[in-house]
Amino acid sequence: MKFFLDTGIVEEIREAAKWGFVDGVTTNPSLIAQTGRSQSEVIKEICDIIDGPISAEVISTTTEEMIQEGQELAKIHPNVVIKLPLTEDGIAACKVFSSEGIKTNVTLCFSVNQALLAAKNGATYISPFVGRLDDIGHDGMGLIQEIRALYDNYGFNTQILAASIRHSQHVRDAALVGSDVATMPYKVMKLLFKHPLTDIGLEKFLADHQKSLNK
């Protein structure tokens, strides 16, 4: 499973890139707004750090405007993926981008039917929001599992990108049910390293080593 970092903060991306396993980055208007910078400026800098898919989301609401905006975003770098909302206009724009060879990430997916529409129109990625579904008492990870079965059944090439990841258990579960990608905040990615027994074991090894030096 690929790991994407869900952030617009360049400093977080630089730090995570050192770990060697970050495959891409996803952004959205809310994340970009937190930086106080323009989207194009942030996306350009991210593309210089991570050699992988970088999702940049349109803020337009009509198909024609989405196409125009997405085409401009795609010019920033070959790795830019155009992020589109799962609306009638967004799905229509997805079809156009697919025919032009521009990669897309269809976001705000909350149902199997929505995922089917995105796949039929050639979306590169579909982003089911597992955390937001869990928040309202639905089974977010169950949706990932159902989409996996659907795509495998019909041979769709659209990759499942588990989004709205809230904790490390979400990452584990997404991997086990066959998600192609999990995108997560920096703080969640850091938690993947953590286990209390690792800390205890390392502390003991270092203490034993120090004892041997003092003999």
Which H/E stretch holds residue 26?
strand 24-26
Q: What is the rounded CA–CA span in Å between residue 136 and residue 45?
A: 36
Q: What is the rounded CA–CA span in Å between residue 33 and residue 56?
A: 13
Instruction: Show Cβ contacts of residue 27 under 8 Å, excluding neighbours closer than 6 positions.
Output: 6, 7, 8, 39, 42, 43, 46, 54, 55, 56, 57, 83
Closest CA to 51 of 22, 11, 73: 22
Lookup result for tokens 């079965």: 149
Q: Which CA distances in Å does 185 have to 27, 114, 130, 171?
A: 10, 24, 14, 11
Q: Active-site residue among 2, 18, 75, 83? A: 83
Which residue stretches of the chain are H helix?
10-17, 29-35, 39-49, 63-74, 88-100, 112-120, 130-135, 140-154, 168-176, 186-191, 196-214
Instruction: Show Cβ contacts of residue 100 under 8 Å, excluding neighbours closer than 6 positions.
Output: 71
> Would you call 83 a catalytic residue per the annotation?
yes
Catalytic positions are 83
